Chains A and B, each alone.
Chain A
Amino acid sequence: MAMLILAACLVLAAALSLGARFITPGELLQLLQGHGDPMVRAMVIELRIPRILMALAAGAALAGGGTVFQAMLRNPLADPFIIGVSGGAALGATAVILFLPPGVPVVAGAFAGSLGATFLVFSLSRRLSLGSETLILAGVAISFSLSSMVFLMYAFGRSSDVHRAVMWMMGDLSLGRYDMVLPGTLMVAVLIGALFFFHRHLDIISFGENFSRNLGIGGKSLGTIFWIAALLVALPVAMAGIIGFVGLMVPHITRSLWGGRHGRLIPLSACTGALFLLAADTAGRSIAVPYEIPVGVITGLAGGIFFVAMLFRRRQ
């Protein structure tokens, strides 16, 4: 726990300092006291802080949602995107970028697409009986169809728009502005809080499908938990694009460090996810200045290396 707090301080300091222009600790202290260069001040307040908030909220949401879906699907390799959130968001965002007038916000398209696809997966699996395997299979099938539709749209779009759509898909936290980030962060906090109330349900669900049913957890409770978690994951996807591996990797790490009880796992996963995504984004925008590496590329790379390392560890 002390390590987590120390890591939080280090990552926050790095996120404030690093970037296209390095801001020294001295300058940061001056800003805190209300002095300092107005350009530095604008850079920190208008760009870096909303971006930091966005990274923290998105990381917490993805990792918190991932923890819940891994418990619900009883599959430690289940990614929260398996329920169609990312495929739907990609379709919605691509449609807005390629075919709708510039005034229509991409966030709205992505959010609607993401919830629409989730609804489709949920209804399909419920119709076929809401088993965890059915849900995973329905999710995989629908995600494949949605990505084919996205590729079909590319064929008809202008190349500059297609490039924008592809960049969106890699995840971009630089779009963070207070008017979107503040309500988004608040909603993430409320949804994580709501999931925390179901922590004992999630423990029982982890024991098995029949076990949880025999302890009185029925489709209604499962549906409620599912939709809270789906909303939680849809928010960062709509705001920042598809950032892979956070929802898969972070719950894994927290579970191995702090055990499988969701009363601890949900808040700790959310904190770890928030810090991990902030660290990844900070690295992405300070490794190759003046270029920015999309955050999804960094999390994907880290995730891939992490899984290979885990396979080696397991073999040993």
Chain B
Amino acid sequence: MTETRQGDILFSLKGVSGGYGGKEVIQDLTLDIHRGDFAALIGPNGAGKSTLLKLMTGILIPSKGEVTFKDKAIQGYSPREFARQAAVVEQSMRTLPSYTVGEFVELGLFPHRQLFSFAESPEASRVAEALEECRIAHLVHRSIDQISGGELQLASIARALVQNRDVLLLDEPVSHLDIHHSIAVMDLLHDLNARGATVITVLHDMNRASDYCGRLIGLKEGTLFFDGTPEETVSYGRIEELFELVCIVRDNPITGAPFTYPVPGYVAQGKKKGTP
């Protein structure tokens, strides 16, 4: 599952710094994302993964450096223009109880619609297709407030697919999901990538990242810690340094990708805290 395919450059970050309220969470980061990449942004809490995603989508303006998307500065895109060419799945959102799952997924058509047009979009069939693809067609009439966290995540991805299926950016799409839904979401992202989508996702689970993603981008304290295939990046020394814990790395017998086993009771350069 970890083959890499590199096309032309989609996102390019050159010496980018940025953050909130004068504090630079990301510092002097240079990075290219290629068309067709399935890249995971990994690293400890506070390393700047979500901030990096916000810099890439233009929500945050860099204090230094430049972010380009399709060779054009990200700030040169209006939010609507960007929304037509890339879809983002947020970490969390409020829900509007009176929306059904079908209507929520249909919001993906919003950036493509004209403001004063009441005409149904000819692309409305995309909604049904995305619901099928994410296996939530049976929930179409359910209120968005009455479905589980996993189903809501699938609905968010379906909404993103309706919006744009070529470039997907996701912020921790499986963090709060049970193992069933977590695998369902990762399988779906893998299929989409296999059919040509560029997928950039923040992941907390090293092993999901290693099993599914062709490229792991490790961030530590706002700087690039490593960038490469799982085989190139996942070694016990690097994972120990990145997450400050003790671990063993073996090959996953199913996928063949490096699999990390953190050793219980040991954190921060091997100091014993409990019993392993």
Contacts and interface: CB of A to CB of B under 8 A. Distances in A.
Interface string B79-114: 111111001101011111111000000011011000
A208 B98 contact: no
A210 interface: yes
25 contacts: A200-B110, A203-B107, A207-B94, A208-B90, A208-B92, A208-B94, A210-B54, A210-B88, A210-B93, A211-B93, A213-B59, A214-B90, A215-B107, A215-B108, A215-B111, A215-B163, A216-B80, A216-B83, A216-B110, A216-B111, A218-B78, A218-B79, A260-B96, A260-B98, A261-B99
Nearest to B95: A207
Interface residues of A, number: 20
Contacts of B59: 210, 213-214
Interface in A214-255: 214-218, 220
A197 interface: yes
Main secondary structure of the interface of A (DSSP, over half): helix
Given A214-B57, A216-B110, A197 B163 contact: no
A260 B78 contact: no
A269 B99 CA distance: 19
B96 A207 contact: yes
A216 B82 contact: yes
A204 interface: yes
Leading 3 A-B pairs by shortest Cβ distance: A216-B83, A218-B79, A259-B98
Contacts of A216: 78-84, 110-111
B41 to A, nearest CB: 17
Interface string A257-286: 001110000000000000000000000000
Interface in B207-251: none
A178 to B, nearest CB: 33
A210 B83 CA distance: 12
A206 interface: yes
Nearest to B58: A213
A215 B83 contact: yes
A266 to B, nearest CB: 14
Interface of B: 54, 57, 59, 78-84, 87-88, 90, 92-99, 107-108, 110-111, 115-116, 163
Contact of A208 (B87, B93, B110): B93
A211 B79 contact: no
A206 B94 CA distance: 7
Nearest to B82: A216
A204 B107 contact: yes
A204 B115 CA distance: 14
B98 A261 contact: yes
A218 B59 CA distance: 10
B80 A211 contact: no
Contacts of B110: 200, 204, 215-216
Given A210-B90, A216-B79, A203 B84 contact: no
A207 B98 CA distance: 12
Given A218-B80, A220-B78, 10 more contacts: A203-B107, A207-B94, A208-B92, A208-B93, A210-B54, A210-B59, A210-B88, A211-B90, A216-B84, A259-B98
A206 B99 CA distance: 12
Contacts of B116: 197
Contacts of A177: none
> Which of A206, A208, A210 has the most C-beta atoms of chain B within 10 angstroms of its own C-beta?
A210
Interface in A176-202: 197, 200
A159 to B, nearest CB: 48
> Which of A208, A216, A218, A261 has the most C-beta atoms of chain B within 10 angstroms of its own C-beta?
A216
A214 B167 CA distance: 13
Contacts of A259: 97-98
A41 interface: no
B90 to A, nearest CB: 5
Contacts of B93: 207-208, 210-211
A210 B60 CA distance: 11
B49 to A, nearest CB: 15
Contacts of A74: 94
Contacts of B99: 203, 261
A220 B94 CA distance: 23
Nearest to B108: A215
Given A197-B115, A200-B110, A214 B95 contact: no
A304 to B, nearest CB: 27
A217 B78 CA distance: 9
A276 B171 CA distance: 45
Given A197-B115, A204-B110, A261-B99, A214 B94 contact: no
Nearest to B163: A215
Contacts of A206: 94, 96
A203 B92 CA distance: 16
A220 B81 CA distance: 13
A211 B79 CA distance: 11
A74 B95 CA distance: 11
Nearest to A209: B59
A203 B54 CA distance: 22
Contacts of B107: 203-204, 215
A210 B99 CA distance: 18
B15 to A, nearest CB: 23
